[in-house]
Structure 1
Amino acid sequence: MRELDGRSALVTGGASGIGLAIAAALLGEGMSVAVADHSEEHLAEAERLLGAAAPRPGAVVLHRLDVTDRPGFAAVADRVEEQLGGIDLLVNNAGVGLSAPMSTAGFDDWDRMLAVNLGGVVNGVVTVVPRIRRHGRGGHVVNTASMAGLIPMLDAGGIYTTTKFAVRGLSASLRLALAPDRIGVTCLCPGLTRTRILDPVGGADAPAGTPTFDATRDPVNAEFALAQGSAMDPAVLAACVVDAVRANDAYVIAHAEFDDELDALHAEVLAAVRHDVPVAPGRRAVEERRRALVDEVKNSIATG
């Protein structure tokens, strides 16, 4: 998607934080943008903020959406296609950050986080990708993971880490799967960025029992909240996303403060490889053929 002007995007979790910044950046490139979000309050604020950035009348449409609601997702996608003439870019950005610590979490904690952070991405892919494929113009998918999809977090962020590692794996495989359809896939891995991720799902309308931020219970998230004062401006990250969509990059990693930790993680994985265990020739041949197929797809992506 080197040319963005005149094309259309659907951004989930698009009424605040990273999603709102991405929506604004896409409007700035001449795209029409559908903003989907669970919060009526945030949608009203987004309508006010994005209205002035719209490149033409009707370029911004807003829809309330719970990304775990599959029929609701399909209904929103149908309406967006009617309003904007199709969907060229899907940004699966909706997510939540609060849960019980992994070591003490119950099924409800796991189910809630998996349903939004992973299930919401799956629902976006299953609902929207066939629509992008159907119009034949090609397109792009951006899935918001996290640096926690590359580097594990401590106990308080363990369930979040699980979901974001899954989004990274989903994105990497989806990138290979959609290459023949000229649909690119980018995995966005933010570090500390100014967002509302510690807000409960649903905001003021959150159902009873929804986790809420409590610094005394959750010192890791307390540190995260404190660090918001020096967190990245989401507009900076959004500009990187625009660049990645145009270049069909596999990842957006804009937080260079993780360089050393990524190097250490890579070294740790390589050090775990046992070179004293024999590799059967047949097994090696299977993996070489698999790798050749992957490399072929990657080369096709690189050459456009």
Structure 2
Amino acid sequence: MREVEGKVAFITGGASGIGFAMARTFLNAGMKVAIADFSDSNLDDARDQLAGDNRDYMTVKLDVRDRTAFALVADEVEAHFGKLHVVCNNAGIGMAELISRAGYADWDEMMDINLGGVINGVVTLLPRIRRHGEGGHIVNTSSMAGILPLPDAGGIYTAGKFAVRGMTESLRLALVPDRIGVSCLFPGLTKTRILDKAKEQVASAAGDIDPVSAGFAVAQENAMDPMDLAGAVLDAIRNNDPYIIGHAEFIDELEEQHRELMAAIRRDLPMDPRRAEFENGRREGIREIKAQMQAW
């Protein structure tokens, strides 16, 4: 979607951190923006920061787990702007119980927001982009933990973010006929409020906080400015890039993981030529779908 001026974006988790940086970046590019967030204080802060700005935006309260509310908010956004072109499913949480001792409630909370919120955003908002036939773009926020797994303390978070990645890559292929681009955002350490709870626990030396979460909370002091990452998101929307990875400190680790995956392939086991033929056909089909994007 090369031309973004005048287009309408809907951002969940949009009142702070990466989401708010996206909102500001999109507004700077001449877009119209709906800033959706669950936190009243974040929404108040966003409104304060945008006070006096005469560009076209609106703020709405939204719990991304609430499907009925999602539809009502979408109606409100469409009533205000007329159409919807870009969706950024960005809302998420970062604290969870250790995966090795987590119960159902721990899994449900993390998955309902970090994965369920993305699903709800796609199911609710994708038909509204399709409806006007002008094309559009979807950005789903995963994490570097959606490529490189975190240990015990981040295990549930990792599971949800891996799922977001897989969902996004399949959706990218599925929406080519609609001329709707799809990108997956993989943030590393970025200055956001996702670890505020952990930082408070570290500062007060109170609570049972695991070393991994404590380490992340401290490391956030040197995290990336979300405006830098938001600029990369806008570039990806314009270029229809599949992946947005702004943290170059992961290059060596990504290469190492790729080597491990390739080394794990057993080349000594029998391979039926008919099976290979099927997979070659599937692969060629995906290549043809990707080639259609180049014609955009």
Q: Give the TM-score band, short-chain normalised.
A: over 0.9
1:194 to 2:186 alignment: no
Q: CA deviation at 1:176?
A: 0.2
Q: Indicate whether 1:97 and 2:94 are aligned.
A: yes
For the Cα contact (< 8 Å) 1:28–1:54, is it kept in 2? Answer: no
What's the counterpart of residue 172 of structure 1?
A: 169
Is this contact kept in 2: 1:50–1:60, CA < 8 A?
A: no
Which residue of the partner structure matches residue 31 of structure 1? Answer: 31
Query: Structure 2 CA distance, aligned partners of 1:9 and 1:51?
Result: 19
Which 5+ residue runs of structure 2 have no aligned equivalent? 198-204
Paired AA for residue 301 in structure 1:
M
Matches of 1:73 and 1:214, distance apart in 2: 36
Q: What is aligned with 1:17?
A: 17
Deviations 1:240-272 (A, max 9, x none): 000000000001000000000000101111111
**1:81 aligned onto 2:103:** no
Q: What SS class does the counterpart of residue 184 from structure 1 fall into?
A: strand
Deviation at 1:215, TM superposition (A): 6.7
CA distance in 2 between partners of 1:88 and 1:66 (Å): 21
**Any unmatched runs of 5+ in structure 1?**
201-212
Task: For residue 281 of structure 1, report the CA deviation from its aligned partner.
Answer: 1.1
What's the CA shift for 1:50? Answer: 2.6
Deviations for 1:54-78, whole angstroms, at most 9, x for unmatched residues?
53xxx11011000000001011011
Report matched runs for 1:1-304 at 5 Å.
1-55=1-55, 59-199=56-196, 216-304=208-296
**1:252-303: per-residue Cα shift (whole Å, max 9, x none)?**
0000000000001011111111110111111111111110110001111133
**What's the RMSD between the two structures over aligned residues?**
1.3
Deviation at 1:29, TM superposition (A): 0.5
For residues 207 and 27 of structure 2, the distance between their equivalents in structure 1, rounded to whole angstroms, comes to: 37
The AA in structure 2 aligned to 1:43 is L
Amino acid at match of 1:282: R
TM-score, normalization by structure 2: 0.95
Q: 2:265 and 2:59 mapped to 1: Cα distance?
A: 49
| Paired residue type of 2:130 | R
* Residues matched between the structures, number: 289
- Offset at 1:217? 2.4
Equivalent position of 2:201 in the other structure: none
Q: Which deviations, in whole Å up to 9, do the C-alpha atoms of 1:93-118 show, x marking residues without a partner?
A: 00000000000100000011000000
1:121-151 per-position Cα deviation (integer Å, ceiling 9, x unaligned): 0000000001100111100000000000000
Tell me the TM-score normalised to structure 1 length: 0.93
Cα deviation digits, residues 212-260 of structure 1 (max 9, x gap): x967421111111101111000000000000000000001000000000
Identity across the alignment (%): 55
Distance in 2 (alpha carbons) for counterparts of 1:112 and 1:16: 20
Equivalents in 2 of 1:255, 1:297: separation in Å?
Answer: 29
Query: Secondary structure of the residue that 2:18 maps to in structure 1?
Result: helix
1:20 and 1:33 map into 2 onto residues whose CA distance is: 10
Aligned equivalents of 1:235, 1:27: Cα separation in 2: 12
Name the CA distance, whole Å, in 1 between partners of 2:35 and 2:181.
21
Q: Distance in 2 between matches of 1:244 and 1:50?
A: 25
Q: Distance in 2 between matches of 1:215 and 1:196?
A: 19
